[in-house]
Copies of this chain bind each other. A is one copy, B any other.
Amino acid sequence: MRELDINFPTCPVRNILSRMSDKWSLLVLRALQKGGVMRYKDLRNAIPDISQKMLSSTLKRLEEDCLINREMHKEIPPRVEYSLTETGKELMPALVMMIEWAREHFDVITGQQSMP
Q: Mark A1-13, 1 if CB is under 8 A from B, else 0.
A: 0000011110011
Q: Quick one: copies of this chain in the complex?
A: 2
- Given A15-B115, A87-B109, is A97 in contact with B103 using a C-beta cutoff of 8 Å? no
Number of interface residues of A (CB under 8 A): 50
Known: A6-B47, A94-B94. A113 touches B13 (CB 8 A): no
Residues from chain B with Cβ under 8 Å of A66 in the complex: 105, 108-109, 111-112
A9 touches B98 (CB 8 A): no
Q: In whole angstroms, how far apart are the Cα atoms of A64 and B114 in the complex?
A: 10
User: Could you give, for residues 82-116 of chain A, a 1 whenever the CB lies within 8 Å of some chain B CB and a 0 otherwise?
Assistant: 00000100110111011111111110111111010
Could you say which of A20-28, A51-59, A73-81 contacts chain B?
A20-28
Q: Report the bound CA distance from A78 to B17 in whole Å.
A: 33
Do A18 and B23 have beta carbons less than 8 Å apart? yes
Q: Closest CB of chain B to A38's CB: distance in Å? A: 15
